Amino acid sequence: MNIQQFNYILALVKLKHFEAAADACFVAQSTLSTMINKFEDEIGIKIFNRKTKPVSITVEGVQIINRLRIIQKEMDALQNVIQELKGEMIGELRIGIIPTTASDLLPLFLSKFASDFPEIKMIVQELTTFDIQKALKNRTLDVGILALPLNDDELIEFDLFSEPFLFYDCSTSKIKSAISIQELDYSKLWLLEEGHCLRTQVQNICELSDKSQEKNANIEFKAGSLDSLLRFTRASKGVTILPYLASLSLSKSEQKKLVPFKLPTPVRSIGLVTHKYFVKTKLLNQLQVTIRQVVAPLIPHNPSTKQFKPL
């Protein structure tokens, strides 16, 4: 058996069609089929049921494929180690980023990083915190950008920056100069739907309960993005809480509705997260440097801010 056979098998698993798998591996269909047959003969187990359309995986084949995926990941890791030792900045960097940060942070650093490292292909996805953790653990992502801490023993966290929260008030024309958490009108407070880390953080800050959010019994709005949340908050003349970077994209008239929190100011920490066996350390360091350089001039620093720990 050899690595090439592993690749052929995994391509067939993914595409479920011999011709498509052969095209993906840049070989003739007969070559791919023969090599897979040889592998099955060598181990004495049929991995695929060729009588079904599309081709299916046998019960025994499921266990074999799981092991092949592990081997493939280790081979990829070995290649990354070799590149790292040689000082090469090449290959792919798969990044997952939470939606409440993506639209504001990515434009600040992504083009610069791509320009500085033209041999790196960056694949960026917007994912929830839960999905990023899962993908980092199964190694389908290299790096996550999200709110910290996660407190996950399989993952390593690197702080990037802390950004304060701001109060966004569309409920009145008389905007306060500052507000405390205790002064919030929960009956007018709108949040993102469940599953977004920003919702969890805001709930932690305000120590909200489900009862405190029973504002309009006949309206249940589940915002899936900050943009939707802002639009609905304006339309309903409500209030919400925004991270600082998100406030920078507001118009001048909308920024007049922003109210800073009284000290101690609630903040959230944004950082990079990788699997504990991630080996592209030089590339990771460069990514950290780039993000910190572009964000630092934008966020006010206040030593009296208070960081609220997300769940």
- Is 60 exceeded by the pLDDT of residue 223? no
- The neighbour count for residue 161, using CB atoms within 10 Å, is 20
Contact assessment for residue 284 and residue 244, using Cβ atoms and an 8 Å cutoff: no
Q: Which residue has the higher pLDDT, 153 or 71?
A: 153
Beta pairing, strands 266-275 & 143-148:
antiparallel
Angle between helices 3-15 and 18-25 (to 10 degrees): 130
Q: pLDDT value at position 311?
A: 30
- Distance separating alpha carbons of residues 205 and 99, to the nearest angstrom: 20
DSSP for 217-271 reads: TT----B-SHHHHHHHHHHTT-EEEEEHHHHTTS-HHHHTTEEEBPSSPEEEEEE
The residues facing 166 across adjacent strands are 242, 260
pLDDT single digits (tens) 194-211: 555 665 566 566 654 444
pLDDT(87) > 90: no
| Least-confidence region, from 28-32, 187-191, 193-197, 246-250 | 193-197
Domain boundaries, the chain: 3-85, 91-161+268-303, 163-266
The highest-confidence range among 33-37, 181-185, 186-190, by mean pLDDT, is 33-37
Note if the bond before 297 is cis, omega within 30 degrees. Answer: no
Check whether domain 3-85 has CATH 1.10.10.10, yes or no: yes
DSSP 8-state assignment for residue 309? P
Structure tokens at 127: 């994912």
Q: Is the pLDDT of residue 308 over 50?
A: no
C-alpha span between 132 and 129 (Å, rounded): 5
* Residues 61, 66, 72, 78, CA torsion sign: negative
Question: What whole-number distance in Å separates Cα of residue 188 and Cα of residue 169?
Answer: 9
Q: Flag whether pLDDT at 85 surpasses 70.
A: no
CA gap 45, 38 in Å, rounded: 11
| Fold assignment, 91-161+268-303 | D-Maltodextrin-Binding Protein; domain 2 (3.40.190)
Tokens read off for 198:
């920003």
Tell me, yes or no, if the two domains 91-161+268-303 and 163-266 fold the same way. yes
Cβ neighbours, 10 Å, residue 144: 26
Q: What is the CA radius of gyration of the chain?
A: 25
pLDDT of residue 235: 82
Pick from 28-42, 248-262, 290-304: least confident: 290-304
CATH number, span 163-266: 3.40.190.10
Residue with tokens 């929830």: 128
Q: What is the tens place of the pLDDT at every residue in 36-64?
A: 999 999 999 999 998 888 889 999 999 99
List, as one string, the DSSP characters of 90-109. Answer: -EEEEEEE-HHHHHHHHHHH
Return mean pLDDT, the chain.
82
Q: Tell me the whole-structure pTM to 2 decimals.
A: 0.66
CA pair distance 246, 248, nearest whole angstrom: 6
